[in-house]
Amino acid sequence: MCGIFGYVNFLVDKSRGEIVDNLIEGLSRLEYRGYDSAGIAVDGDKKGDTFIVKKVGKVNALKQEIIDQKLERSTLFDCHVGIAHTRWATHGQPMTVNCHPHRSDVNNEFVVVHNGIITNYRALKTLLESKGMRFESETDSECIAKLFKHIYDTNLKAGLEVDLNELTKQVLFELEGSYGLLVKSTRYPGEVCATRKGSPLLVGVKTNRKLKVDFVDVEFPEHDAPSSNNTSGLADGSSNLGLMPVAQGDNLRTSQSRAFLADDGMPMPVEFFLSSDPASVIQHTKKVLFLEDDDIAHIYDGELHIHRAKKSSAGEATTRSIQTLEMELNEIMKGPYKHFMQKEIFEQPDSTFNTMRGRIDFKDSKINLGGIKGWLPTIRRCRRIIMIACGTSYHSCLATRSIFEELTEIPVSVELASDFLDRKSPVFRDDTCVFVSQSGETADSILALQYCLERGALTVGIVNSVGSSISRQTHCGVHINAGPEIGVASTKAYTSQYIALVMFALSLSNDSISRSPRHKEIIDGLQKIPEQIKTVLQLEDKIKQLCDDHLNSQKSLLLLGRGYQFATALEGALKIKEISYMHSEGVLAGELKHGVLALVDKDLPIIAFATKDSLFPKTMSAIEQVIARDGRPIIICNEGEKVIGMEEKTMAILEVPLTVDCLQGLLNVIPLQLMSYWLAVNRGIDVDFPRNLAKSVTVE
C-alpha cells in the first residue's frame, strides 16, 4: 500500500547525495507494505528548481534510476525538504507518469506525495482543466498539486500573500476523500506542510539538544472556511469548489513551537522525518508525534507548528504530545531468517508470551487488561457484542466467538467489515463493537468503526500497531503487543489476536465463581502455549518433506474442520491461497456431505483437523467419508492419538500437543503457516510480497 516519507534538515549540513540516500532508505523501510512504483523530489541546482525522479518497480530500481540520471550529489544544503513515496496503484496503471511526487506544472512549482483517495478529483480535474491546467497522469493525486498552484496564483493575483499553512488549508477545503499528504514548493523553499485525514502520518524529531517540552501546541483557525471574496473563478456557488483566497489575519506565524527553541530563544539544529509508518523513522529517532485527522504540520526555520484545518470544537486537545517509540530497529529486520514471514512464524513463542506479559497472574488465575479494565462493567451490560474485522483478523474473531459466548453469555456476532457496511447493519447504543486489526489502518474496518461510533456504540480495539487509527479512534482496547508484522501474510498477529480475545472474554466473566474451574483450565492452558508452539515448530522438516513429496505440484487443497477448528481451516486456506497461489478452501466438516464431497477422489489433497474436543467423533466420521471415496487425508491430531488404524489410509499424520479445546486452534494453525510458507518458497514466490496484495489495505 502507498507509503510516504519526507526528510527535513535545518542547520544540519547535508549533501544532496546524503539527502537522497535518506529518502531511499526511508522508502525501503516502507517496502513491506506492498507497492508497485516509487519516486522522490529534492531541490535542484538553481534557486527555484526541483528534481523529481520516479520509477515503476522496486525502490532499488528507483535508486538505479537516480544513478542513471547522474543526479549531482555534492551540493551542500543547511536547510532542505525532500519528499518521497511508494505507490500502490488505485487510479491509473503502475506507470512512471502515475508515480508520485506529482507536480503542479512543468516548473515543478508545487510537488506533492499523497496516500488515500480524493473522491471529488474528477470534478476538480474538469474545473482545473477548464482553467488551462494540463494533467499528465490518470491519478486522483495530481489534482492536489494543481490545486495548490491554482489557489496560490489566485491569491497572488488578488494581491494576497499567504503562508504555506494557510494555502494548505485553502486546498484542503476543496478536497473530499482521504489523504496523508506532503507538499513542498519552490515558492516556499525549506518549508513543508504535512496533513492527514483518514490516512496515517507522523513526524519524527531528531536533535542533539533536549526538547524544552514534550508537546507541540495546536494552533486553531478563527474560521472554518476561507471567508473573503471568490476571485478564483472556479466557484459554482453551490459546491465546495469555492477556492476562495483569504486575507492573512493575525494568525500568520504568530506563535513559536516551544519544544524546538534553544535556551537563548534561537532555533536549534534539527532534522524532521515525516512518514506514514514509524518503521521508517525508528532508525533515525524515537521521538515522534502522531498527527490527528485535519492537523496541518507546518515545518520551516527548524520549527514545527501544528495547525487545525478546521475551527476547534469543544473538548478538542490543544497539544500533540511528542512520544517515545518503544519499537527497536532489530524488531523490524529479518535476523537469520530468509523471509519476514518465516521469522514471524518462528517468533510466535515470544510474541504469544508478550501478548500475555504483565496481564495474566497465572498463580491466582486472574487477568488484568489495563486498556479495558475501566470499561468492563459497561461492556458486561451490553445487549450484544459485534466483532468486526477483515481477512486473518476476521478468522481470529471466528476462532474465539464460541468461548466469548460460553464465558459471557452475551450474544456475539462476527462480521466481515465490508459486508457489515454493505448491509448497513443496525447498530445501537447498547452494543459493544470490537474491531480486530493487525495494522489498525484497514480502510474497511476504519469505516465500520466510524459507522458504529456515529450510532453511539461502545467501540473496543484489538490492535497490534500502537498509534494506528483504530487504536486511537476506539473508546478503549487491547494492544496485542506482537511486535511489528512485516510479511504480508499475517501469522504472529493471528495467534496474538486470538490470545488477546480469549483474555478479553475471560475478563468479561471474571466475577462469576461458578466459572472459576473453567477459567483456571484456560489460564493454565495459556501459560503453556508458548512452549507448545515451540514443539509444533519442530514439525517444519516433516512439513517441508510433505510439500516436496505430495503437495508442490497440486492445484487445489481442502481443509476440513468443525467447531473451534472451522476458523483454523479458513485461516489455513487463506494462508495457502495468498502466499502459494494454490487454490484452497476451508470447509466446515459438517457441510461435507452437503456438496463438497463431490470433489473428493484419490488425487485431491485434504487436510483434516482431528484434535481432541467434544466434536472429535464427528470429525472422525467426516474423515471416514473422505477415505471411503479413496481420499488420502493429511490428519492433524494430538500427540499419541494414533487415530487408530488410519496410518496406512492417510497421506501423513501431523501430531501437535494437546491443550484446552478453545486454545487448540493456536497450535493447529502453525503447521498450516509452515505449509503455506514452504509451498510458496518451493514455487519461487516472493513470500513477503505476494502478487496483487498489500500488507496494509488502506483503500476500500
Spatial CB neighbours of 398, under 8 Å, sequence gap ≥ 6: 414, 566, 567, 570
Q: How far is CA 571 from the centre of its chain?
A: 19
CB of 547 to ligand UD1, least distance (A): 37
Amino acid at 92: G
| Burial of residue 19, with CB atoms counted within 10 A of its CB: 0-12 exposed, 13-18 middle, 19 or more buried | buried
Does the protein bind ligand M6R through residue 670 (CB under 6 A)? no
Residue 355 CB, nearest approach to ligand M6R (Å) = 15
Spatial strand order in the sheet of 50-56: 50-56, 37-43, 76-87, 3-15, 270-275, 202-206, 287-290, 323-324
Closest separation in Å from C-beta 488 to ligand UD1: 22
How many residues bind ligand UD1 (CB under 6 A)? The answer is: 13
Partner that binds at residue 391, options ligand UD1, ligand M6R, none, CB closer than 5 to 8 Å by kind:
ligand M6R
Q: Which is nearer to ligand UD1, 458 or 679 (CB)?
A: 458
Q: Does 478 bind ligand UD1 (CB under 6 A)?
A: yes
Q: Which does 697 bind (CB under 5 to 8 A by kind): ligand UD1, ligand M6R, none?
A: ligand M6R
Count CA atoms within 13 Å of residue 23 on its CB side: 33
Which region among 99-107, 226-234, 302-310, 434-442 touches ligand M6R (by CB under 6 A)?
434-442
Q: Within 555-594, which residues bind ligand M6R (CB under 6 A)?
A: 574, 578
Where does this chain touch ligand UD1 (CB under 6 A) — which range of 1-9, 269-277, 463-471, 691-699? Answer: 463-471
- 578's contact among ligand UD1, ligand M6R, none, with CB below 5 to 8 A by partner kind, is ligand M6R
Instruction: Report the C-alpha gap between 53 and 62 in whole angstroms.
Output: 8
- By a kind-dependent CB cut-off of 5 to 8 A, residue 442 interacts, out of ligand M6R, ligand UD1, none, with ligand M6R
Choosing among ligand UD1, ligand M6R, none, which partner's interface includes residue 474 (Cβ < 5 to 8 Å by kind)? Answer: ligand UD1
To ligand UD1, the closest distance from the beta carbon of 449 in angstroms equals: 10
Distance CA 110, CA 382 (A): 51
User: How many positions of this chain bind ligand M6R (CB under 6 A)?
Assistant: 16
Candidate list 28, 442, 584, 664; residue touching ligand M6R; CB under 6 A:
442
Whose Cβ is closer to ligand UD1: residue 474's or residue 584's? Answer: 474
Separation of alpha carbons 561 and 279, rounded Å:
37
Does the protein bind ligand UD1 through residue 474 (CB under 6 A)?
Answer: yes
| Grid coordinates of 390 | 477483515
Residue 397 designated active-site: no
Opening angle at CA 675, ends 669 and 680, nearest 5: 130
Residue 556 dihedral angles phi and psi, to the nearest 5°: -150, 155
Residue list 321-380, contact with ligand UD1 (CB under 6 A): 370-372
CB of 180 to ligand UD1, least distance (A): 20
Residue 438 interacts, among ligand M6R, ligand UD1, none and using kind-specific CB cut-offs from 5 to 8 Å, with ligand M6R
Site string for ligand M6R, 507-546 (x = CB under 6 A): ----------------------------------------
348 near ligand M6R, judged by CB under 6 A: no
- Non-local (6+) Cβ contacts of 68 within 8 A are none
Task: Tell me how far apart the alpha carbons of residues 530 and 549 are, in angstroms, rounded to a whole number.
Answer: 30
Transcribe 611-659 into DSSP letters: -SSTTHHHHHHHHHHHHHTT---EEEEETT---TT-GGGSSEEEEE---
Residues in the chain: 700
Q: Are 99 and 2 in contact (CB under 8 A)?
A: no
Q: Among 98, 168, 232, 392, which residue sits at the site for ligand M6R (rule: CB under 6 A)? A: 392
Cα 311 to Cα 170, 224, 373, 453, distances in angstroms:
13, 5, 34, 22
What is the C-alpha to C-alpha distance for residues 293 and 453, in angstroms, rounded to an integer?
A: 16
**Distance from C-alpha of 442 to C-alpha of 390, rounded to nearest angstrom:** 8
Q: Which is nearer to ligand M6R, 219 or 344 (CB)?
A: 344
Q: In whole angstroms, what separates CA 310 from the centre of its chain?
A: 26
Q: Toward ligand UD1, which CB reaches closer, 466 or 599?
A: 466
Of 2, 382, 547, 662, catalytic: 2
461: partner contacted, choices ligand M6R, ligand UD1, none (Cβ within 5-8 A by kind): ligand UD1
488 touches ligand M6R (CB under 6 A): yes
CA 205, CA 212: separation in Å to the nearest integer?
A: 13
Nearer to ligand UD1, 141 or 468 (CB): 468
Residue 640 to residues 224, 611, 655: CA-CA distances in angstroms? 69, 11, 8
Q: Give the span between the Cα atoms of 275 and 157, in whole angstroms.
A: 34
Q: Which stretch binds ligand M6R (CB under 6 A): 233-241, 345-353, 432-440, 521-529?
A: 432-440
CA distances (Å), origin 468, targets 293, 438, 474, 678: 12, 10, 10, 32
Residue 348 CB, shortest distance to ligand M6R, in Å, is 14
Nearer to ligand UD1, 317 or 628 (CB): 317
Select the span of 30-38, 40-48, 95-103, 389-397 touching ligand M6R (CB under 6 A).
389-397
Q: In this structure, are residues 567 and 502 in contact, taking their beta carbons and an 8 Å threshold?
A: no
Q: Looking at beta carbons only, is 286 or 479 nearer to ligand UD1? A: 479
Applying CB under 6 A, among 327, 466, 646, 651 the residue interacting with ligand UD1 is 466
Whole-number minimum distance, CB 465 to ligand UD1, in Å? 9
CA gap 67, 20 in Å, rounded: 11
Q: Which residue is nearest to ligand UD1 (CB)?
A: 461
Binding ligand UD1 by CB under 6 A: which of 463, 547, 582, 587? 463
**Member of 86, 139, 168, 471 binding ligand UD1 (CB under 6 A):** 471
Burial of 264 (0-12, 13-18, 19+ CB in 10 A): exposed
Measured CA to CA in angstroms, residue 286 lies from 30, 58, 297, 323, 325 at distances of 17, 27, 18, 8, 5
490 near ligand M6R, judged by CB under 6 A? yes
| Interacting span for ligand M6R (CB under 6 A) from 54-62, 155-163, 274-282, 391-399 | 391-399
Which of ligand UD1, ligand M6R, none sits in contact with 249, Cβ below 5 to 8 A by type?
Answer: none
Neighbours of 159 (CB within 10 A): 9
Cβ-proximal residues to 521 (8 Å cutoff; 6+ apart), any chain: 660
Residue 392 partner contact from ligand M6R, ligand UD1, none using kind-dependent CB cut-offs of 5 to 8 Å: ligand M6R
Of 300 and 498, which has the nearer Cβ to ligand M6R? 498
477 binds ligand M6R (CB under 6 A): no
As a whole number of angstroms, the distance between CA 420 and CA 397 comes to 14
In the set 437, 459, 471, 673, which binds ligand M6R (CB under 6 A)?
437
Show contacts with ligand UD1 in window 149-168 (CB under 6 A).
none
| Sign of the torsion formed by the C-alpha atoms of 603, 605, 610 and 611 | positive
Alpha helix ranges (H) inside 93-229: 121-130, 142-157, 164-174
Which residues of the chain form contacts with ligand M6R (CB under 6 A)? 390-393, 437-439, 442, 445, 488-490, 574, 578, 696-697
Which residues of the chain form contacts with ligand UD1 (CB under 6 A)? 370-372, 461, 463, 466, 470-471, 474, 476-479
Residues annotated as part of the active site: 2
